[in-house]
Amino acid sequence: MSQTEIPAGLADVPVTKTAISDIDGKNATLFYRGIPVQVLARESSFEETSWLLLKGDLPTQRELANFHFDLRSRRKVHYRLLEALKNFPESGHPMDALQASVAALGLFYPSRNVSDAAANWEASLRIIASMPTLVAAFARLRSGEMPIEPHPDLDHAANFYYMLFGKEPSASVRKVIDACLILHAEHHMNASTFTARVAGSSLANPYQVIAAAVGSLSGPLHGGANEEVLEQLKEIGSPDRVQAWLEQKRASNPSFKVMGLGHRVYKVKDPRATVLQDLAERVFAESTRPILYDVAVELEKACLPIYGPKGVFPNVDFYSGVVYSALKIPTDLFTPIFAIARVSGWLAHWFEQLQNNRIYRPDAPYIGKQNVTYTPLEKRP
C-alpha cells in the first residue's frame, strides 16, 4: 500500500466487526444492539442500557434488579483511594484525576487474569459503580469539601447528582442526567473505544483498559469538545451577537470551525443532539431558561445555510454542555460525565474483543531517510 492510499485517521477503514452499536450517518440513526438510541433515552434507564450493551439483550426484571443491587453495593471505594484523591492538586483537571484513580482501582481490587470470566464481570461492576464516586469525590475535595457517601436508594444518575451536590435531584433533572448517560454510553468505533480495544487486545487488565480509554476521551477533538462549546457560547454572550460573531470569525479565518458542529460519521444533525435538545426544553420549562441555550439555538440557525450544505450539523456536544451548565455542573466535569456514561460501551467492546482476540499490530509504511551514515559525536558540527 502506498502512502497516498492510507486514509487520514483511518477514515472508513474497518478494524473489526461489532454487534454492539450501529450508525447510519446519512439518516441520523444510532442503534444499541438493534434498538434506536432515541427509544432508550425516552423509555430506558442507564442501568438497563448498560446491561443491554454488556450482555447483548435487555434484562429481565430479576436481572435488572440484581444488576441494580450489584452496582449499588460497589459504589464505595477504598478509603485509601479517597486519601490519594485528597493529595491531588486542586488545580488538576478532573479527567487526569479520573484516569489516575481508575488505574488505581486496579491496585485495590486487582483483576489481572482476563481469562477469568467471573473476575472480568466483577471488575466491570466495580468500574461502572465507582466512576461517579471518584468524579464527585475529586470535585468536592478540590473545593475544600468532604466527599459524600453514595446513596443506597438512588439510581446511577440520581446518586451521582446527590454525591456532587448533597441533595437529591428533581424528577426532571434526574431524567435528563439519566438520558445524557444513555446518549453517551456507546458510539461505535470512536477514538476512545478503539483505544480500549487496542489496550484490551494486549490482555491488559480492565482497569488499565478503561484508564487508557479515559485518556483518549480527554482530548478536545473527542470528549473535551463539550467544554470548548460552552466557552464558545460564553464568548458570544447573547443571541443578538451571534451573527456578528460568526461573520467576524469567518472574515478573519475563512476555514473557521464552529465547535460542536460536524461529525466524522453524521452528515446530518446528530440524533443524540435532537433527543438532548428535547429533554433540555422540558427541564428549562420548569426552571429558568439559560441564555446560553438561546445562544446555541441561534447559532445553529445562523450556521445552517453556511455549513449545512457541507454536511456539517450540530453533534451531541453542541447542547450537552449547555444542559450541564444549567444544572450548575462545573465545566471541567462535562468530560468526566461523558466517561461515566461511555464506560459501559468501552467495557462492552472489551468483552467483545476478548471473544476472538488478536493483538492489534497495524502496519505503517516507512517514508523516512535511507542508508544514513552514522557520524561519531566528536565529528558532528
* pLDDT band at residue 164 under the 50/70/90 scheme: very high
Query: How far is residue 265's CA from residue 315's CA, in Å, rounded to a whole number?
Result: 10
The average confidence (pLDDT) of the chain is: 93
pLDDT the model gives residue 1 = 42
Q: Give ∠ CA 346-43-224 in degrees, rounded to 5.
A: 40
From the list 184, 270, 317, 349, the catalytic residue is 317
**Which pLDDT score, from 0 to 100, does residue 286 have?**
74
84 located within any domain: no
Which pLDDT value is given to residue 3? Answer: 52
Residues spanned by the domain of 297: 225-326
Mean pLDDT of the region 180-185 = 96
**Residue 260: DSSP 8-state:** T
Query: What is the average per-residue pLDDT within 270-284?
Result: 85
Q: Burial-class residue 270 by CB neighbours within 10 Å (0-12, 13-18, 19+).
A: buried
Q: What is the mean pLDDT of residues 52-70?
A: 98
Tally of CB atoms within 10 A around 318: 29
pLDDT, tens digit, for every residue of 311-342? 999 988 888 888 898 899 999 999 999 999 99
Q: Is 317 a catalytic residue?
A: yes
pLDDT per residue as tens digits for the range 101-158: 999 999 999 999 999 999 999 999 999 999 999 999 999 999 999 999 999 999 999 9
> Is the residue at 76 inside a domain?
no
| Residue 188 annotated in active site | no
* pLDDT higher than threshold 70 for residue 197: yes
pLDDT for 266 equals 86
Q: Is the pLDDT of residue 163 over 70?
A: yes
Distance CA 213, CA 202 (A): 14
Contacts of 115 (CB under 8 A, 6+ apart): none
Check pLDDT > 80 for residue 39.
Answer: yes
Evaluate if pTM is beyond 0.85.
Answer: yes
Count of structural domains within the chain: 1
Which of 156, 184, 263, 349 is catalytic? The answer is 263
In a domain, 185, yes or no: no
- Percent of the chain past pLDDT 70, that is, above it, reads 99
User: Do the bridges between strand 21-24 and strand 35-36 make them parallel or antiparallel, or are there none, so unpaired?
Assistant: unpaired
Has residue 283 been placed in a domain?
yes
Q: Which residues face 314 on adjacent strands?
A: 261
pLDDT higher than threshold 70 for residue 65: yes
Assign residue 289 the CATH number of its domain.
Answer: 1.10.230.10
What per-residue confidence (pLDDT) applies to 4?
62
Distance (Å) of CA 70 to CA 74, 122, 131, 181: 7, 9, 15, 19
Q: Which amino acid, 83?
A: E
For residue 140, being part of any structural domain is answered with: no
- Residue 2, pLDDT > 70, answer no
Torsion of CA 326, 327, 330, 336, to 10 degrees: -120
pLDDT over 90 percentage in the chain: 79
Helix (H, G, I), strand (E, B) or coil at 27: coil
Q: pLDDT tens digit string along 231-258?
A: 999 999 999 999 999 999 999 998 898 9
Residue 82 belongs to a domain? no
Predicted confidence at residue 209, as pLDDT, reads: 98
Residue 11 lies in a domain: no
Q: Alpha-carbon distance 321 to 227, whole Å?
A: 6
